[in-house]
Structure 1
């Protein structure tokens, strides 16, 4: 097992990093040359990609959900219990929607672009509890 599993340590070590730029969600039937998504997930209905809005605009790819990308720099275990629930609860209480993606080393949150700073503030407050 790799990464932290202790909920208190996870929450106190969230260390959110707000990436520059706007990121969007799109679905593609196949790869599009010139796109460099930060996330790709294949579903029965098509390939979902998250990519910078500027790339989608250049390629003429329709998209939804202009978002801010926040990386939680704590190295969480994929077997950790409760961290995403605590984050979702805190963001819900602030009225902020969130699409979460767990990768091997870190968790990533995509929140509505206009609420990016609010979300980071919520995450910092959660870490101080």
Structure 2
């Protein structure tokens, strides 16, 4: 099996919330980052304020080095080590990369796990977010 190369990830400067809206097909506002429609409703990823309440997620974006959609294992190389460390993730993929969300309280641990797996993580925004 070919192992994908180590990736360069960056911590996104925003903090996110993931919301399930049953029976909806589109959100009532334009304040969303990503949408996934499924038979059971709509999943909405939104930016949230740094002092917001509820479950908050920190984003790691792996689009620093664009790769084709035909390159296998790129996402698995990121979520695999996180799964082994029992760190939950929520993923929103783009054409060029993947936004991997991890729970805010586990963000520093997630960065350490990814670095131990050989990835480079720019933590500039992690430090400034106060996490």
Give the TM-score of the pair, scaled to structure 2. 0.70
Q: How does 1:27-42 map onto structure 2 within 5 Å?
A: 27-28=20-21, 29=24, 30-33=26-29, 35-42=30-37
Question: How many residues align structurally?
Answer: 112
Structure 2: runs of 5 or more not aligned? 120-131
- 4+ residue runs of structure 1 moved beyond 6 angstroms? none
CA distance in 2, matches of 1:113, 1:95: 14
Structure 1: runs of 5 or more not aligned? 1-5, 58-62
Give the TM-score of the pair, scaled to structure 1. 0.71
Deviations along 1:5-36, one digit per CA (max 9) or x if unpaired, are x7443x2xx21111224211113323223x42
Higher helix share: 1
User: What is the CA RMSD across the aligned residues, in angstroms?
Assistant: 2.4
Aligned equivalent of 1:70, options 37, 60, 79: 60
